[in-house]
Amino acid sequence: MRIRRHQAESHESHTGIDLAPMLDFVTNLLIFFIITAVFVKEVSLEVSRPTGEMTQEQEDDPKKAAIPISILSDGTIWVDNREVDVRAVRANVERIKAVRPEAGVLIVADQNAPTGTVVDVIDAARLAAVFNITFSTGQ
- Whether 82 maps to a domain, the answer reads yes
Residue 10 within any structural domain of the chain: no
Structural domain total, the chain: 1
**Does any domain span residue 118?**
yes
Residues 6+ apart with CB under 8 A from 89: 69, 77, 79, 120, 121, 124, 125, 128
Q: Which residues of 46-62 are buried (b: 16+ CB within 10 A; e: fewer)?
A: eeeeeeeeeeeebeeee
Q: Is residue 35 in a domain?
A: no
Residue 4 resides in a domain = no
Give the Å distances, CA to CA, from 57 to 19, 20, 47, 67, 104.
Answer: 70, 69, 19, 16, 14
Whether 5 maps to a domain, the answer reads no
β-bridge mates for residue 137, sequence order: 109
Question: For residue 88, what pLDDT is reported?
Answer: 93
Residue 134 placed within a domain = yes
More confident residue, 114 or 1: 114
Q: Residue 116 belongs to what domain range? A: 62-138
Question: Is pLDDT at 116 greater than 80 in this prediction?
Answer: yes
Closest CA to 48 of 122, 131, 107: 131
User: Smallest Cα–Cα separation from 107: which of 127, 82, 87, 77?
Assistant: 77
Distance CA 73, CA 114 (A): 7
**Alpha-carbon distance 27 to 19, whole Å?**
12
pLDDT digits (tens, 9 = 90+) for 28-73: 999 998 888 776 666 666 665 555 554 455 555 666 678 899 999 8
Q: Is the pTM of this model over 0.75?
A: no
Tell me the per-residue pLDDT of 72-86, one tens digit each, with 9 for 90 and over.
989 899 998 899 999
Q: What is the CATH number of the domain that holds 78?
A: 3.30.420
Residue 127 lies in a domain: yes
